[in-house]
Amino acid sequence: MTLHAPETLLITLTGKDRPGVTSALFSTLALSGVEVLDIEQIVLRRRLVLGLLVTAPRDWKKLRDAIENAAAALEMHVEVSRGTGDNRARKEGRSHVTIIGTPLKATAMAAIAGRIADSGANIDRIERMARYPVTAIDLHVSGVDTDRLRSQLAAEAARHDVDVAVQSANLLRRGMRLIVMDVDSTLIQGEVIEMIAAHAGHEQAVARITESAMRGELDFEESLRARVALLAGVPASALDEVYDAIVLAPGARTMVRTLKRLGYRFAIVSGGFSQITDRLAEDLGIHFARANELEIVDGRLTGRIVGDVVDRAGKARALREFAALSGMTEKSVIAIGDGANDLDMLNAAGLGVAYNAKAIVQRAADTAVNVPYLDTIMYLLGISREEVEAADAEAGIITPAPPV
């Protein structure tokens, strides 16, 4: 026996938003006993667009006339079209495509949407995640493999100077519960070792070695020991001055505060120094911390490190240890970093995010974020700025209003 797709009515209502519009429409539909199959509603500048898919009754024209009369009473425009089938998204290749721009121009959206269409995929839904200080849009896409879509959109992202994150639309996106972050140039602005080196008169020399190491041109442990040697003789009290001068990445406190409300756990894993990172962890309420320990003798730095170096492999080991301590698998971890020594950590995580990272890291990571706001990571997790601000307001935290 051949099953035929049911007849359906697509109702599109547009006009000035006001209380009672949705209620009036459903009251009219209720008289015909139709089933609701799908519904979408958005409001832009107080203009309502409501799309509704329902089963078609035997006398569908009578229902159409009733809907048109209801719309006229509301001083709104309505279109009713008959067809067949539901509005189910294709099951295969379901992805979330998050686009972040400052600004987000129509040319970028056109290019990305065009490339999605060229791949054979379909955009099933579009949601705004943020409008200030960045514009973030989440596209629900189906019909093409996630990895293939990610590679195809990477070129458009670079060409139009926007960030495009492509993730598989599965439960892991909602279930990730451990964030593991690099510290220098990720959680904080700048490099701690360079700030300490300024007290020894070697800031520029250390900065040159750091930059080369972060690009992957030097062995990290070798470069670290060479830089730390230049710190010999610096008073331990200088570490307090360095800590007091640290500036967090914009949005860092917001991200940690918000995700901790949702049950997330946090870890920082650094090629820097425990004398700084332990204090950062305590200040921010971070659960785990791993870093190198500077040797101090008679109140001064010796230019040596105590114990093993936390290098590229060490960061990945720490991620796995912290995941195990939290009762999670590595796939439930989000790792964030910017340098070559973060690569193993990013690859070990379920989602590796290159944050304002070197080119070698951006090419290897699952996704890249190149705006100077760490809390944009939350948009990749399906958390909107409006939700963040509402939660802060309930806690008595006032968010500055965006420019009009």
pLDDT tens sequence for the chain (404 residues): 445 567 999 999 999 998 889 999 999 999 899 999 999 888 888 999 999 999 999 999 999 999 999 999 999 999 999 988 766 655 678 999 999 999 999 999 999 999 999 999 999 889 999 999 999 999 999 999 998 999 899 889 989 999 999 998 877 777 778 999 999 999 999 999 999 999 999 999 999 998 888 888 888 899 999 999 999 999 999 999 999 999 999 999 999 999 999 999 999 999 999 999 999 999 999 999 999 999 999 999 999 999 999 999 999 999 999 999 999 999 999 999 999 999 999 999 999 999 999 989 998 998 899 999 999 999 999 999 999 999 999 989 877 766 65
The model carries a pTM of 0.84
End-to-end CA distance of the chain: 60
Q: In what order do the strands lie in the sheet with 300-306?
A: 300-306, 288-297, 265-273, 178-181, 333-337, 351-355, 367-369
Which pLDDT value is given to residue 1?
Answer: 43
Structure confidence at residue 5 (pLDDT): 64
Distance CA 173, CA 161 (A): 25
* Fold that domain 7-84 belongs to in CATH: Alpha-Beta Plaits (3.30.70)
What integer pLDDT is reported at residue 3 of this predicted model? 52
Q: How far apart are CA 316 and CA 366, in angstroms?
A: 16
Instruction: Give the model's pLDDT for residue 402.
Output: 67
Ordered by start, the domain boundaries in the chain are: 7-84, 95-170, 179-365
Is the fold of 95-170 the same as that of 179-365? no
CATH class of the domain whose range is 179-365: alpha beta
**pLDDT number for residue 45:** 86
Class of domain 95-170 as given by CATH: alpha beta
Strand partners, 80: 11
Q: What are phi and psi of 111, to 5 degrees?
A: -65, -45
User: Annotated catalytic sites, by residue?
Assistant: 182, 184
Q: Are strands 178-181 and 265-273 parallel, antiparallel or unpaired?
A: parallel
